[in-house]
Amino acid sequence: MSNMLQLSSILFNIPVMSLRTGGQIAIAEQPIINPNNLKIEGWYCVDQFSKQTLILLGQDIREIIPQGLAVDDHEVLSLPGELIRLEKVLALNFQLIGKRAITNHRRRIGKVADFATDMESLMIQKIYITQPIYKTLTGGQLSIDRTQIIEITNKHVKVRESEEKLRNPVPVALSA
């Protein structure tokens, strides 16, 4: 797959396909995001057979294909308790969409409405902030690059304020 950014909508409720059996083994319901580095560590999945919530690690994905996430076989799905290195990230239950966005000057600029991920590295590269209608005539979105992010907490995303960019936001046209 090429080094292309994909919007978050393709990361939710996607089939997990086994290359060994050629069939679907789970549904990847939502990504597990590490707030310390904005990396998608894996996905919470519902096992097709046992209906248990299991975890698919990003490193176990062979390829992202139109049919879903291709993995070797069912054995790559793990119980959350088995993943000791991911324990702290799982405990955070971090969700990026809906977080308040503020500047380093503590000015509120809106809420995270979407994000774009590099599907090769599974790193979130951009976040899109929806602004309240009273802040701009169009109520447009701001595009924030990961390099502008200063801090991420469970309550907000703090971004470096670029005076020119925040004074004259350019609405972003998103395509799926």
pLDDT score at 138: 57
Domains in the chain and their CATH numbers?
11-92 (2.30.30.240), 100-167 (2.30.30.240)
Helix spans in 83-144 (H)? 87-92
What is residue 59's DSSP assignment? Answer: G
Digit-coded pLDDT (tens) for 71-102:
999 999 999 999 999 999 999 999 999 999 99
Mean pLDDT of the chain: 87
- pLDDT > 70 fraction of the chain, expressed in percent and rounded: 86
pLDDT of residue 3: 57
Q: How many other C-beta atoms are found inside a 10 Å radius of the C-beta of residue 114? A: 18
Mean pLDDT for the stretch of residues 121-148: 83
Distance CA 111, CA 169 (A): 15
- Model confidence at 118, pLDDT cuts 50, 70, 90, reads very high
pLDDT of residue 175: 47
Torsion over CA of 97, 103, 109 and 114, rounded to 10 degrees?
A: -20
Residue-wise pLDDT for 2-39, tens only, equals 458 888 888 899 999 999 998 999 999 999 999 999 99
What number of helices (H) and strands (E) belong to the chain?
2, 14
pTM score of the predicted model: 0.82
User: Is residue 173 scored above 80 in pLDDT?
Assistant: no
Report the alpha-carbon distance of residue 73 to residue 127 in Å, rounded. Answer: 33
